[in-house]
Amino acid sequence: MSVSNLAPDIAARLKRSPEGLVPAVVQQHDTGEVLMLAWMDDEALHRTLTTREATYWSRSRNEYWVKGATSGNTQRVVSVALDCDGDTILLRVDQTGAACHTGDRTCFDAGRLL
């Protein structure tokens, strides 16, 4: 993770994990469909707010990734909000293509329990 350019007033509101991460719930802006969960640090949030391209921190690859940069399945960010505790980010996006790395529309398509 790199040094962040995130605005200090926004950074002060975040409650991060010990690794410096905040979960980001990603939702289709017009239908409310929950697409995926990803992780952001301050710099990923800064990049997302600046570019309106959903940018996350990959815990497995230990690097930033812009959703759709290699797959073409992009997320144009419509809005970003913090929950009341500052420990979860909600991204409302316009999803193009599959949101899940498996090719499913959402990361929750195959995991229905009830």
Domains of the chain: 8-95 (3.10.20.810)
Helix (H) or strand (E) holding 44: helix 42-51
pLDDT of residue 110: 76
pLDDT per position as a tens digit, 89-105 = 999 999 999 999 889 99
Taking 70 as the pLDDT cut, the residues of the chain under it are 1-3
Q: What is the pTM of this model?
A: 0.92
pLDDT of residue 2: 59
- Assign residue 36 a region (left: φ > 0; alpha: ψ between -120 and 50; beta: otherwise): beta
pLDDT of residue 81: 97
